[in-house]
Amino acid sequence: MTNDIMHYKGYYGSYHLDTEEKVFYGKLEFINALITYEATTAKSLQKAFVEAVDDYLDMCEQEDIDPEKPFKGSFNVRVGGELHRKAALTAANEGITLNQFICKTLQQATKECYRS
């Protein structure tokens, strides 16, 4: 994981600095709900993030709704007709489905990107 993302209970939060206002701020990422937090120090921003996640989960429980999950396992990607054709033909030549080809390609790419 990169250094500009916080993680807690399966949720991810961004953090930024507003130099004019001298405040740190962020929001929960990878969900549609807009959950934000802010603080005057980096340490207190981490606490505000944790509280925002807990408050969101508590609110969902009180309202008897399922909280959004950041990663559901499926997403739509618009790649254009030509790349779609090339990927489908490559998958067929390898004897796998397009979905299997995309998963394999993403696994290889993310391994290279997030080596420890």
Between CA 21 and CA 37 the distance in angstroms is 15
pLDDT (tens digit, 9 = 90+) per residue, 16-29? 999 999 999 999 99
pLDDT tens digits for 74-106? 888 999 999 999 999 999 999 999 999 999 999
User: Per-residue pLDDT averaged across 21-44, rounded?
Assistant: 96
Contact by Cβ (8 Å): 67, 57:
yes
In angstroms, rounded to a whole number, what is the distance separating the alpha carbons of residues 34 and 49? 13
pLDDT, tens digit, 9 for 90 and up, residues 48-68: 999 999 999 999 999 999 999
Helix 81-94 × helix 98-113 angle, to 10°? 100
What phi, psi does 6 have (nearest 5°)? -100, 155
**In DSSP terms, which residues pair with 18 in a beta bridge?**
23
Locate the domains of the chain by residue range.
Answer: 5-62, 81-113
